[in-house]
Amino acid sequence: MDDLILLGHGSGGRLTTDLVRNLFLQNFSNALLKPLSDSARLTLDSPDIAFTTDSYVITPQFFPGGNIGSLAVHGTVNDIAMSGARPLYLSAAYIIEEGFKMSRLEEIVRAMAQAAAAAGVKIVTGDTKVVPRGQADGLYINTSGIGVHRQKPGYGPERIRQNDAIIVNGNIGDHGAAVLSSRAAGFTKAEIFSDSAALNHLVAKLQDNNIIIHALRDATRGGVGGILAELAEQAGTSFKIYESRLPVQSKVRGMCEIYGFEPLFLANEGKMVLFCPAAEAEKVIEIMHCDPLGQNATIIGEVIEEPEAPEYRVIMETAIGGSRIIDQPAGELVPRIC
Amino acid sequence: MDDLILLGHGSGGRLTTDLVRNLFLQNFSNALLKPLSDSARLTLDSPDIAFTTDSYVITPQFFPGGNIGSLAVHGTVNDIAMSGARPLYLSAAYIIEEGFKMSRLEEIVRAMAQAAAAAGVKIVTGDTKVVPRGQADGLYINTSGIGVHRQKPGYGPERIRQNDAIIVNGNIGDHGAAVLSSRAAGFTKAEIFSDSAALNHLVAKLQDNNIIIHALRDATRGGVGGILAELAEQAGTSFKIYESRLPVQSKVRGMCEIYGFEPLFLANEGKMVLFCPAAEAEKVIEIMHCDPLGQNATIIGEVIEEPEAPEYRVIMETAIGGSRIIDQPAGELVPRIC
């Protein structure tokens, strides 16, 4: 019995206290979490902060290259890093299905602790709810995060300028393909690994090198294509990208051919789209190539003026020389990938 | 069809954008949320902050005196207020079951907006996920919150001292009884109203009057009894409370007699337990009595020295003159009340 999560673990009573002490406090071990009060007390080195939240409902909870726990840390760290802020503190809130295996939860919590340590963030507050069997599909996790801004103006679509270079830090579509392959082929046979990773250290390297960044966005749900379409709309401008330049690993390309998917719209969890003045682009690529998370960084396009078009849009020059409008997808190619 | 939530509303694509713009942005209307970027940029007036998170999985989602939306605001505002900090900003993350009625979601979101406005907090960042039919029991909401500390030392069990007065700000058990009655009798017949409310303004009044507060805790899951048992353990001391002094409205008392429950362990969502020096107690009661949320505020007991007891504990003098140990409940009297 004590290998399964019970309703009582979410009651706020004795079982909750035991779970919090023996599992969460043990793994997330830090002085700020330790008082286990209703809120964590933090002293920041700046009152200029970034605040974000994300719930993770991915299925399956374990996939090649990570699990829902590491993903919940990476995703929220990245949301903060994309604004130019330095991620510092996370919350972790669990909604667990009654009967979920304690050993699985432990594995997830350990992955969160490791991901947090690697990203240099602390998990300082949390919550646990347990819902009856049949609900919550095992486990959902919400992480919210706080970061501190390093510089006055943040990044944003409103800063995107004509001729800006558009850069991605590596192969696209890996996360979506990994989740898909683990659903289709069973877990052990999957050979495509998620790119799930915290991008904050790579962003910090660019900042330390005084790179002028206009906009930065992680290409999660909707993939690089979805993010570009959204940014073009928000920026009120047009982008041109080149299909032949898109970095895609061959396994992902192969899977996409089988399923009729496009890597451009597959989710990533360790990829960002960066806009910078054209003059900065080579330096960005150089810095990224020196980092394990930027090995295949590529300039995939640029911001263009399109006087004939009445609206902002994303145009892709296809591999065979035609051109195609890239629009925001209405739904997801692969649902529940985060 | 457009009256129901679809999987695509959680895809991060066009449907998500529409939902966020037309529902969330419309209702939570504020300049900080408006950029709809991955994280909100906030400038605080102090770097000394409180950070908290809570997921809400209450069933039913609508109950006399509120719904899951207002509750999600009140609960997180209170978690911050209990540390002595001033709540300022909330996140709102939704996990919605496919097929959930859009009109119900709207009602919930409106209730959140109203509760936030009344509490003086802004909802500045969010997330929407949609899970397949049969999961999430309709809707779960996570709210995380940030507050700013008003004074150097916060409140906490370690500050509790011998002879401290123990005060509650009014009738106990209303929320648990309201949820229970709405489950048992159908929604329209329920006559017991939840006490769900934001306590931050009441706490601010006490602070403005320079009341010395040693500890403050909202008595949610586990009720006043559960919170006292937990605080005694954390403080390493003993408390004595008097059953005859516990403020309980007669409808709740009646329901408890029918079900064999104790109001002391029923959840509250607008009640706090306050520890202060005995000399401050009358002033606290006076201030509370002048506030709509403190009408029935009562001194229910005090911190005692118990040299014979090897451990901290909570002793209740019963109405008939006996005495009883109040321990932390192992589970919940009524599950899923928040």
Among the candidates A108, A126, A149, a domain finishes at A149
* CATH number where B261 lies: 3.90.650.10
User: Between B49, B142, B328, which is nearest A53 by CB?
Assistant: B142
What does the block give as tokens for B24? 């969330």
Cβ contacts (< 8 Å) between A21 and chain B: which residues?
Answer: none
User: Between B38, B44, B82, which is nearest A217 by CB?
Assistant: B38
B288 vs B18, higher pLDDT: B288
What does the block give as tokens for A26? 């043990």
The Cα angle at residue B303 between residues B297 and B304, in degrees rounded to 5: 140
The conformational region for residue A325 under phi > 0 = left, psi -120 to 50 = alpha, else beta, is: beta
Residue of A nearest to B220 (CA): A12
State the angle between helix axes of A281-289 and A200-208 in degrees (0 to 180), rounded to the nearest 10.
130
SS3 state at A252: helix
The 8-class DSSP code of residue A300 comes to: E
Residues A189 and A296 in one domain: yes
Residues B176 and B313 in one domain: yes
Question: How far is Cα B271 from Cα B217, in angstroms, rounded to an integer?
Answer: 9
Q: Exposed e or buried b for every residue in A190-208, given b needs 16+ CB within 10 A?
A: bebbbbbbbbbbbbebbee
**CB distance B51–A146 less than 8 Å?**
yes
ipTM of this predicted structure = 0.94
Residue of A nearest to B329 (CA): A13
Residue of A nearest to B138 (CA): A135
Residues A164 and A304 in one domain: yes
Query: Residue B335: inside a domain, yes or no?
Result: no
pLDDT band at B174 (very low <50, low <70, confident <90, very high): very high
Q: What is the pLDDT of residues A82-94, one digit of tens each?
A: 999 999 999 999 9
pLDDT band at B36 (very low <50, low <70, confident <90, very high): confident
pLDDT of residue B188: 45
A53 close to A76: Cβ distance less than 8 angstroms = yes
Residues B245 and B306 in one domain: yes
Paired sense of beta strands B122-131 and B85-97, if any: parallel
Among the candidates B149, B184, B211, a domain finishes at B149
State the angle between helix axes of B200-208 and B68-81 in degrees (0 to 180), rounded to the nearest 10.
20
Residue B53 pLDDT > 70, yes or no? Answer: yes
pLDDT of residue B150: 79
Suggest the residue from B15, B28, B55, B264 to mutate for an interface test with chain A (most A CBs closer than 10 A): B55
| E strand intervals along B61-205 | 62-63, 66-67, 85-97, 122-131, 139-149, 165-168
| Residues counted in chain A | 338
Residues B144 and B164 in one domain: no
| E strand intervals along B197-280 | 215-218, 238-242, 272-276
SS3 state at B101: strand
A28 close to A99: Cβ distance less than 8 angstroms = no
**CB distance B11–A35 less than 8 Å?**
no
Cβ contacts (< 8 Å) between B89 and chain A: which residues?
Answer: 51
**CB distance A131–B336 less than 8 Å?**
yes
CA distances from A37 to B76, B119, B163, B204, B256 (A): 13, 21, 23, 19, 29
What does the block give as tokens for B262? 């104790």
Query: Residue B337: inside a domain, yes or no?
Result: no
Q: Exposed e or buried b for every residue in A293-328, given b needs 16+ CB within 10 A?
A: bbebbbbbbbbbeeeeeeebbbbbbeeeeeeeebbb
Residue A181 pLDDT > 90, yes or no? Answer: no
* CATH number where A100 lies: 3.30.1330.10
pLDDT of residue A186: 53
Residues B206 and B285 in one domain: yes
Question: How far is Cα A174 from Cα B122, in angstroms, rounded to an integer?
Answer: 37
**Which amino acid makes up residue B61?**
Q
Task: List CB contacts of A17: < 8 A, sequence separation 6 or more.
Answer: B230, B328
Query: Residue A221: inside a domain, yes or no?
Result: yes
Residues A295 and A265 in one domain: yes
A197 close to A293: Cβ distance less than 8 angstroms = yes
pLDDT band at B307 (very low <50, low <70, confident <90, very high): low
Query: Residue B334: inside a domain, yes or no?
Result: no
User: Between A8, A51, A124, which is nearest B146 by CB?
Assistant: A51
Cβ contacts (< 8 Å) between A45 and chain B: which residues?
Answer: 47
**CB distance B55–A79 less than 8 Å?**
no
User: Between A10, A156, A335, which is nearest B37 by CB?
Assistant: A156
| CB neighbour class for B262 (10 Å; exposed up to 12, middle 13-18, buried from 19) | buried
Query: Residue B332: inside a domain, yes or no?
Result: no
pLDDT of residue A188: 45
| Residue position matching structure tokens 């991060």 | B12
Among the candidates A118, A149, A180, a domain finishes at A149
Mean pLDDT of A23-32: 94
What does the block give as tokens for B178? 């309201």
Q: Exposed e or buried b for every residue in A277-287, given b needs 16+ CB within 10 A?
A: eeebbeebbeb
Residues B272 and B184 in one domain: yes
**CB distance B39–A14 less than 8 Å?**
no
Residues A141 and A122 in one domain: yes
Residues B179 and B75 in one domain: no
What does the block give as tokens for A252? 């992902």
Residue A254 pLDDT > 60, yes or no? Answer: yes
Q: Between A and B, how many residue pairs show a Cβ–Cβ distance under 8 A?
A: 249
Closest CA of chain B from A293, distance in Å: 20
Query: Residue A133: inside a domain, yes or no?
Result: yes
Residues B205 and B135 in one domain: no
Mean pLDDT of B315-335: 87
Query: Residue A335: inside a domain, yes or no?
Result: no
Query: Residue B143: inside a domain, yes or no?
Result: yes
Cβ contacts (< 8 Å) between A35 and chain B: which residues?
Answer: 156
Host domain of residue B24: 7-149
B54 close to B141: Cβ distance less than 8 angstroms = no
**CB distance A144–B147 less than 8 Å?**
no
Residues A163 and A257 in one domain: yes
Residue A185 pLDDT > 80, yes or no? Answer: no
Q: List the alpha helices (DSSP H) in A29-130.
A: 68-81, 102-119
Give me the number of domains chain A comprises: 2
